[in-house]
Chain A
Amino acid sequence: MSAHSHDGHLPHEPEKATLEGRNKILGFWLFLGAETVLFGTLFSAFLALRDQVLDGPTSQELFQLPLVALATGLLLTSSLTSVFATQALHMHKVKAMIWWLLVTVLLGLGFLGLEIYEFYHYVHEGHGFTTSAFSSSFYTLVGFHGAHVAFGIVWISLLIGQLAKKGLTVTTAPKAYVAGIYWHFIDVVWVFIFTVVYLMGKVG
C-alpha cells in the first residue's frame, strides 16, 4: 500500500503515488470548493454593505491603487514562484523546490507587510473596524484573505523545514503539492478582491 522509497527512486508524480496522497489532493480540492463558498459569502456581505460608510471615509477617499497594485504584483509573482516549486517537485529537485518555496514565502511576507501597513494607515484615516458596516465588511473580507496568506506562510515555512530534513518522499510530496494549490487559490481570491473591493471601490 504505502510505497515508501528506500532507494531514493521516486515515481514520476510522487504526490499521487500513494492512496493517501491521492486522497489528500482530492480532499484538498473539495476543501477549496468550501473555501470558495466561504469567500463568496464574504463578498456578498461586502457588496451588500459597501455603501454604508456613515461618518467614515468612502472607498474613493481611502484606497490608494499604487500600494494595492504593488501588493497585487507581489502576490501574483509568488503564485508564479510556487508553480516553479511544483515543477521542481515533478523533476525531483528538492533544492530548487526549497529555494522557490522560500521565494514564495518571502513574497507572501512582503504582501502581508504591505497589507498591515495599509490597514494601519486606514485606521489613522478614521476607517476603523467598528466605524461602519462598510469598514466591518471590508476588514472581514480582506482580513480573512490576509489570514489565509499568513496561514499559508507558516504552513509553507514548516514544509520547507520538512523538505530539508526528510527530503522529497511520497509523504512530503503530496503536502508540498496541496500547499501549492492552496497558494494559487488565495491568489485567485485576491484577484477578485482587487477587482471587486479596490477597482470597483475606486470608480464607485
Chain B
Amino acid sequence: MAHGHAVKRYSGLMDWLTTVDHKKIGILYLIAGGFFFLVGGLEAILIRIQLWKPLNDFVSADTYNELLTMHGTTMIFLAAMPVIFALMNAIVPLQIGARDVAYPFVNAIGFWTFFFGAVLLNVSWFTGAAPDGGWTAYAPLSSTTFNGDHGFDYYVLGLQIAGIGTLVGGINFLVTIINMRAPGMTFMRMPMFTWSVFITSALILFAFPALTVGLAALMFDRVFDANFFDPSGGGNAVLWEHIFWIFGHPEVYILILPAFGVISEVVSTFSRKRLFGYSSMVFATILIGFLGFMVWAHHMFTTGLGPVANGLFSIATMLIAVPTGIKIFNWLFTLWGGSIKFTTANLFAVGFIPTFVMGGVTGVMLAAAPADFQYHDSYFVVAHFHYVIVGGLVLGLFSGLHYWWPKMFGRVLNEGLGKLTFWTFFIGFHLTFFVQHFLGLMGMPRRIWTYLDGLGFNEMNLISTIGALLMGLGTIFFLLNIVVTAFKPKNAANDPWEDGRTLEWTISSPAPEYNFKQTPLVRGYDAYWKEKMDGHTEMTPAEPLGSIHMPSPSILPLFMSIGLFITGLGLMYSHGEWGKIAGIEAGYVVGGIGLIITFTCMIIRSLVDDHGFHIEPEELQDKGVKA
C-alpha cells in the first residue's frame, strides 16, 4: 500500500478519453453540448424555413414532426443541460476552493453516459425513424399503437442513459459543495453561482428519478408490451402526463437557476459592487427550488383535473413570481450606482434581465387557469417558454461562457466579435419570438406543419423566420470568435477582468490540474475581493505546501457507457428485426452483451483500488504556477 504507484498518464486523445479532471470534463461537456446546440439550432432553422410562408412544402409533415420533437428534446437534454454541466464542472470546485470534485471517476461516468445517450437518440435520424410525437412524448401518441416505428424507442432509451449521467452529476456536485469547501467558505459565503448549482443539483436529485420511472414504464409498454399508458390494457394516458411533468417542471428550474447564478456573478463583477441582497438571493433560490415541485399540473390545466386542482396549482405557480421578482430587483439594485463595464458578458447579463421579465410576465398570464384555456397549445405558449429558456437560460450561458472563457481556456474571447454576437443574437431572438405572442393570441396553434393563407399569420411568421436566421448568424459569430481566439497566445491573466471577486480568479488561467497549490483561507463573502480591499494581492493559504493527491485517469467510464449504448440499441431491435441467436432474439443477446460490459467495468472498479498519484511540492514549483 505504498504511495509510490506509478500511474500511467496519457496524452493526446487517450488523455481526453480517460480524464477524470473536472476542468477537462467541463470542456468535454462544452464541446458535446455545443455540438448538440448546433444540431438543435439547425433543426429550429429548418422549422422556421418551413413556416416562413403559408402552405410551404419545404419539408414533409412527417419530417416536420420529427424536427419539432428532436429540436425540443435535443435543446433541453443534449444542449442546455450539458452546457450547464460544463460551467458547473469548470467553475464550482474553483469557487469553493476545492482541489477536485467529490467523485472524479463518477464525474467521467456522468459525461460519457450523457454523451452516449445523446448519440443513441440521434442515431434515430440515420435509421429512418426519429421520434415524432413532441418532446413531451405524450401517451398514447408515443405508444406502439400510434408510433409503430422505433422513434420513441430511441427517445426512451437515449434519455434513460443520458439521465443516469445527469443524476450522478447532480449527486457529485451536492457532495462536492457540502464536503469539499475550503476552510472559512461557509454556506452563506458561497458565491451565488455555486449556490444556484447546489439547488439545481438538489432538484436533479429529486426530479430525475421520476423521469427514470416514466421512461422505464414507457419502454416496458413499447418493448415488452406492458399496459401502463395504453387505455385498451387498462392503462392511463394521463398518468404519463403527471409523471412527465413532476419531472418536467423542476427541470425548467434546473435549467434556469444556474443562469440566475451566472447573472448574479457577472452583474456583481462588472458593477464593481457586492451583490445586492445576497441572503435574500440565497433564500429566493431555495424557495424557487421548493415551489418548483408544487406546480407541475399547470402544464395540464386543460387535461380536466377539475377546478380545485387547477385553482391550487394556479396559485402555487403565481407564488413563484415572488422569489423571482426578488432576484430581478436585486440585480437591478446591484447595477444601481455601480461603475458598470459593458463587456460582452455583462451585455448578455443586462440583456437577460428585461427579456426574462417578459417571459415571467407571460408565465403569470399562463398561470391563470381560465386564461390558459385560451392560450393553450397556441404560439403564445411557444413564445413564453422560448423567452424564459432562450431569453433566460441561453443568454445566461452566453454570458457565463464569455465571462469564464479565460478561466477555462487561458484566452480572453474577442470583445468586438462578442458584442457582434450579442447584438445579432439578441435582436434575432426578439424578432423571432416577440411576434409569436401575437400569432398565438390570433389563434395560430403550435406544433402545426403549415398554415393557410389569409389568416393574417403571414407577415409575422416571415419576421419570425428572419429573426431565427439572425440568431443563427449570432451563433456563427460566436463560433468564429472561438476560432479566432484559439489562434491567439494563451496569455490570460489570473484575473483578466481585473474586478474578479471570487476564488477562481486567484489562480492561473487556465487552472492547474490540482487547482490550488495551497488551499486558500476564506475570510468573507466575495473572498478575493475582500483580500483586495484589505490590500492583499493573493489569498492567505490555509495549509503549508505539501504533496497533492490526484485520482488516476481511467478508461472504464467510457466502456461502461458504451455498454449501456449497446444495451439500448439491442433492446430496441428485439422484435425479430435482427433474427435469432440460439433461439433467443438477437436484440436481447446484444442487449445482454452490453450489460455484461457495463457490469464488468463496475466490478473491476470495485475490486481494483485506485491509489491515485501525488504531485510533489518540487513539481509545483517547476510548473511555475502563480498562486
Chain A positions near chain B (C-beta within 8 angstroms): 1-2, 4, 6, 19, 22-23, 26-27, 30-31, 33-35, 37-38, 41-42, 44-45, 48-49, 52-54, 129-137, 140, 158, 162, 166, 171, 175
Chain A residue with minimal CB distance to B614? A1
Q: How far is the CA of A60 from the CA of B225 in the complex (A)?
A: 24
Chain B positions near chain A (C-beta within 8 angstroms): 1, 102-103, 167, 171-172, 174-175, 178-180, 205-210, 212-214, 216-217, 220-221, 224-228, 230, 233-236, 239, 242-243, 246, 549, 603, 606-607, 609, 611
Instruction: Please name all residues of chain B whose beta carbon is closer than 8 Å to the beta carbon of A49 when the two chains form the complex.
Output: 227-228, 234-236, 239
Q: How far is the CA of A33 from the CA of B210 in the complex (A)?
A: 12
Q: Are B227 and A41 in contact (CB under 8 A)?
A: no
Known A130-B227, A137-B228, A158-B607; judge A37-B206 contact (CB<8 A): yes
Give A1 Cβ to nearest chain B Cβ, in Å: 5
Give B585 Cβ to nearest chain A Cβ, in Å: 16
Q: How many A-B residue pairs have CB under 8 A?
A: 117
Q: How far is the CA of A49 from the CA of B227 in the complex (A)?
A: 9
Known A26-B178, A30-B174, A45-B213; judge A132-B234 contact (CB<8 A): yes
Instruction: Please name all residues of chain B whose beta carbon is closer than 8 Å to the beta carbon of A4 when the two chains form the complex.
Output: 1
Beyond contacts A31-B171, A49-B239, A136-B233: 19 other A-B pairs, Cβ-Cβ < 8 A, are A2-B549, A6-B1, A23-B180, A26-B175, A27-B172, A34-B208, A37-B209, A41-B243, A45-B217, A45-B239, A49-B234, A53-B234, A130-B224, A130-B227, A131-B227, A133-B230, A137-B228, A140-B226, A162-B607
Instruction: Please name all residues of chain B whose beta carbon is closer than 8 Å to the beta carbon of A35 when the two chains form the complex.
Output: 209
Q: Are A162 and B606 in contact (CB under 8 A)?
A: yes
Instruction: Please name all residues of chain B whose beta carbon is closer than 8 Å to the beta carbon of A133 when the two chains form the complex.
Output: 227-228, 230, 233-236
Instruction: Please name all residues of chain B whose beta carbon is closer than 8 Å to the beta carbon of A19 when the two chains form the complex.
Output: 179-180
Instruction: Please name all residues of chain A whose beta carbon is closer than 8 Å to the beta carbon of B180 when the two chains form the complex.
Output: 19, 23
Known A2-B549, A53-B234; judge A41-B214 contact (CB<8 A): yes
Q: How far is the CA of A27 from the CA of B107 in the complex (A)?
A: 13
- Residue in A1, A135, A171 with the greatest tally of chain B CB atoms within 10 Å: A1
Known A37-B209, A41-B243, A45-B228; judge A136-B236 contact (CB<8 A): no
Instruction: Please name all residues of chain A whose beta carbon is closer than 8 Å to the beta carbon of B611 when the two chains form the complex.
Output: 2
Q: How far is the CA of A6 from the CA of B2 in the complex (A)?
A: 9
Known A6-B1, A41-B209; judge A48-B236 contact (CB<8 A): yes
Known A53-B234, A132-B227, A140-B220; judge A41-B103 contact (CB<8 A): no
Q: Are B210 and A41 in contact (CB under 8 A)?
A: yes
Chain B residue with minimal CB distance to A132? B234
Q: Are B175 and A27 in contact (CB under 8 A)?
A: yes
20 pairs across A/B with beta carbons < 8 Å?
A2-B549, A2-B611, A6-B1, A19-B180, A33-B206, A34-B167, A34-B171, A34-B206, A34-B209, A38-B210, A41-B214, A48-B236, A48-B239, A49-B228, A49-B239, A132-B227, A133-B230, A133-B233, A136-B220, A171-B609
- Residue in A27, A135, A166 with the greatest tally of chain B CB atoms within 10 Å: A27
The residue from B171, B207, B234, B607 contacting A52, defined by CB atoms under 8 A apart = B234
Q: How far is the CA of A166 from the CA of B376 in the complex (A)?
A: 62
Instruction: Please name all residues of chain B whose beta carbon is closer than 8 Å to the beta carbon of A41 when the two chains form the complex.
Output: 209-210, 213-214, 243, 246
**Which 5 interchain pairs have the tightest Cβ spacing?**
A52-B234, A133-B234, A136-B226, A38-B209, A41-B213
Instruction: Please name all residues of chain B whose beta carbon is closer than 8 Å to the beta carbon of A2 when the two chains form the complex.
Output: 549, 611
Instruction: Please name all residues of chain A whose beta carbon is closer than 8 Å to the beta carbon of B167 when the two chains form the complex.
Output: 34
Q: Are A33 and B228 in contact (CB under 8 A)?
A: no
Give B124 Cβ to nearest chain A Cβ, in Å: 25
Q: How far is the CA of A44 from the CA of B243 in the complex (A)?
A: 9
Instruction: Please name all residues of chain A whose beta carbon is closer than 8 Å to the beta carbon of B208 when the two chains form the complex.
Output: 34
Q: Are B209 and A129 in contact (CB under 8 A)?
A: no
Give B607 Cβ to nearest chain A Cβ, in Å: 7
Q: How far is the CA of A158 from the CA of B171 in the complex (A)?
A: 24
Instruction: Please name all residues of chain B whose beta carbon is closer than 8 Å to the beta carbon of A38 when the two chains form the complex.
Output: 209-210, 212-213
Q: Are B210 and A23 in contact (CB under 8 A)?
A: no
Instruction: Please name all residues of chain A whose beta carbon is closer than 8 Å to the beta carbon of B242 when the two chains form the complex.
Output: 44
Give B251 Cβ to nearest chain A Cβ, in Å: 13
Instruction: Please name all residues of chain B whose beta carbon is closer than 8 Å to the beta carbon of A130 when the two chains form the complex.
Output: 224-227, 233
Q: Are A23 and B102 in contact (CB under 8 A)?
A: yes
Q: How far is the CA of A195 from the CA of B321 in the complex (A)?
A: 40
Instruction: Please name all residues of chain A whose beta carbon is closer than 8 Å to the beta carbon of B607 when the two chains form the complex.
Output: 158, 162
Q: How far is the CA of A132 from the CA of B228 in the complex (A)?
A: 9
Instruction: Please name all residues of chain A whose beta carbon is closer than 8 Å to the beta carbon of B228 when the two chains form the complex.
Output: 45, 49, 133, 136-137, 140
Instruction: Please name all residues of chain A whose beta carbon is closer than 8 Å to the beta carbon of B233 when the two chains form the complex.
Output: 52, 54, 130, 132-133, 136
Q: Are A136 and B213 in contact (CB under 8 A)?
A: no
Chain A residue with minimal CB distance to B242? A44
Q: How far is the CA of A181 from the CA of B588 in the complex (A)?
A: 33
Known A41-B214, A45-B243, A130-B233; judge A23-B1 contact (CB<8 A): no
Instruction: Please name all residues of chain A whose beta carbon is closer than 8 Å to the beta carbon of B603 when the two chains form the complex.
Output: 158
Q: Are A30 and B205 in contact (CB under 8 A)?
A: yes
Give B175 Cβ to nearest chain A Cβ, in Å: 4
Instruction: Please name all residues of chain A whose beta carbon is closer than 8 Å to the beta carbon of B609 when the two chains form the complex.
Output: 166, 171
Chain A residue with minimal CB distance to B609? A171
Q: How far is the CA of A38 from the CA of B234 in the complex (A)?
A: 22
The residue from A42, A54, A135 contacting B213, defined by CB atoms under 8 A apart = A42
Q: Are B234 and A37 in contact (CB under 8 A)?
A: no
Give B560 Cβ to nearest chain A Cβ, in Å: 15
Chain B residue with minimal CB distance to A43? B213
Q: How far is the CA of A184 from the CA of B414 in the complex (A)?
A: 56
The residue from A33, A129, A137 contacting B224, defined by CB atoms under 8 A apart = A129
Q: Are A30 and B175 in contact (CB under 8 A)?
A: yes
Give A53 Cβ to nearest chain B Cβ, in Å: 7
Chain B residue with minimal CB distance to A128? B225
Known A41-B243, A140-B226, A162-B606; judge A23-B179 contact (CB<8 A): yes
Q: How far is the CA of A30 from the CA of B174 in the complex (A)?
A: 8
